[in-house]
A and B are shown apart, each in its own frame.
Chain A
């Protein structure tokens, strides 16, 4: 089955840029979705189709996808961005696959 690899944790200083990677075999050929999950809350979709933002998601959130790595970039990081972030794709059998998640700390 298809596997997505994320770093367990990423730290960023307030106002700086955080990059969270999601690795998978030829992931560049798939559409990647990113979710933000704050403590005790349901996940929220922040990026779809690799780089598109749902309405209401700040422009500070952006995405890219090429080769074997997709990246979620959070510019001008704020304390409110602290959360777990999960990437997700659909495999060839139309089964959903999530990465293990990355805990973002803003310090």
Chain B
């Protein structure tokens, strides 16, 4: 079974600063997908970024980027130029390509302070 671990229950960052959220996972699969989802107070799940395990290049989406270390099974999220609207729960998730059920970490509550 796949497990996803987020070891930081809460984090805070000053507006305009950079913050990194950690995620590790455990799997025996060689090919899979990794995700970061944002859940604001509305509780709508919003996809932040996606990484395919067979791609060595780290995914980037505007202010969001990942540091994917496949051998270490690590998938951290870096948020640059943090904005107040980034305040939310962030979930790291793992998905195998053939069955699509997604497994989530426990989440990290990020607060961006003005």
A in complex with B: no
